[in-house]
Structure 1
């Protein structure tokens, strides 16, 4: 008997892919979706071979397509009968300093990270309200705690929006529904690969995601992960003057 069903968006690479591996090992059925279906197919085959007691469904999903989000989530509900947890993970990290000709990249990030998160949350909560229960997890970022410079400006703003979305939903106190927001620090992934060697406090993928999974399993309303050093860094980022925050990030 499995522990339940989790839907993970952006599961074809990075943090989403590793979360799928770790939740599969814990005995969850998984609904995995992303734009790169061939990578999801390989991941499904890997997970079902390693954990034959679970079921893994996959779907092609662009989270900026609202109707497709609805269709995919309903597909997973029909396949499994219920959805216990949705992890809003799909994201984009492309960007440029504003006013330098990078509007298209910044718009992609804003649409994927915030508007996409809005659509995912909306459709997940439609299902959870009908079920009378569910756990919605939104993946934000430590970058959301303060405004970031240059190519990170739009990314940080979009992730701040995700965090505010989670807080608003939590304050609504929807019966039977739990809301978590996770603030990952710098965890090695496809998105962070280019800056990995020059980034402070970078954590390898497996232990970094393990900290995320543990916080999600504990149904933390808010978690900075890994707790060390990011719990302390969060306090500093919220309170220190902006010139010092720049040195931390």
Structure 2
């Protein structure tokens, strides 16, 4: 039995991409799962699949908009007995819309990114960490980004949200340093998931062009690192991990092969 067997993992944004891939890999480790996202049908499909393939784990799927504090409180208060004690919180839910320069970013786009990427992460952490402190065990893993390390044109608001995640993660680690609770951040570079299609407002051709001429990371690559981070011995904390495909050096330096 591995270190993650029997642990309960709460995943936001579990209906696709890195969240879904993480759910599958945690299930392979024997972890119990709380799957949350706004798209309940996709969560239920994943729940059904994982329950069949991993009959010894508990999988709970529930619709959740991380921007809604009352909904978060309801979801937490109504967790089934077999998954009510969360060992690992994976704050994965996030979004980016558009590549507009700062002076052209629409107010509703600003609000959506700030509310999902920052407020939602904070609200989930506030809801779950107190229970971890009571039990003297827990791990918060936040999904950051290279965009939280280096700003770039066309990404002002998204970069701001991921710089906020970076700061929140570091501050939380300081605040919890006297406890056994671990706090980690994983910051991907170019990852080809549905996330990119959303950025380009559903234009998959434009989203795919971002990765033309190189082999980007995929959701499973990041999920593997999330599970690795969660599975270290209790005295080991991977505080911050920056992850690129081999032909990326920073937020904008990328080598593309001619096709």
TM-score (norm 2): 0.83
Whole-Å separation in 2 of the counterparts to 1:217 and 1:149: 37
Q: 1:102 to 1:85 in 2, by over 3 A?
A: same
Aligned length: 236
- Give 1:101 deviation, angstroms: 5.1
Whole-Å separation in 1 of the counterparts to 2:25 and 2:242: 19
Superposed CA deviations along residues 70-125 of structure 1, whole A, max 9, x for unmatched, are 22233337442411111111111114332225221122011100011111111121
Q: 1:210 aligns with which of 212, 220, 224?
A: 224
Whole-Å separation in 1 of the counterparts to 2:218 and 2:62: 28
Whole-Å separation in 1 of the counterparts to 2:117 and 2:82: 27
- Give 1:147 deviation, angstroms: 1.4
Are 1:27 and 2:27 counterparts? no
Cα RMSD (Å):
2.2
- The unaligned stretches of length 5 or more in structure 2 are 198-203
State the match for 2:102 in structure 1: 98
Q: How does 1:1-249 map to 2 (within 5 A)?
A: 2-76=5-79, 78-95=81-98, 96-100=100-104, 102-150=106-154, 152-172=155-175, 173-193=177-197, 194=204, 195-199=207-211, 202-218=216-232, 219-225=237-243, 229=246, 233=249, 237=250, 246-248=252-254
Whole-Å separation in 2 of the counterparts to 1:185 and 1:216: 20
Q: 1:222 to 1:132 in 2, by over 3 A?
A: same
Whole-Å separation in 2 of the counterparts to 1:178 and 1:38: 32
Whole-Å separation in 1 of the counterparts to 2:227 and 2:84: 24
Does 1 or 2 have the higher relative contact order (CA < 8 Å, sep 6+)? 2
Whole-Å separation in 1 of the counterparts to 2:141 and 2:221: 19
Q: 1:5 to 1:109 in 2, by over 3 A?
A: same
State the match for 1:240 in structure 2: none
Q: 1:212 to 1:116 in 2, by over 3 A?
A: same
TM-score (norm 1): 0.86
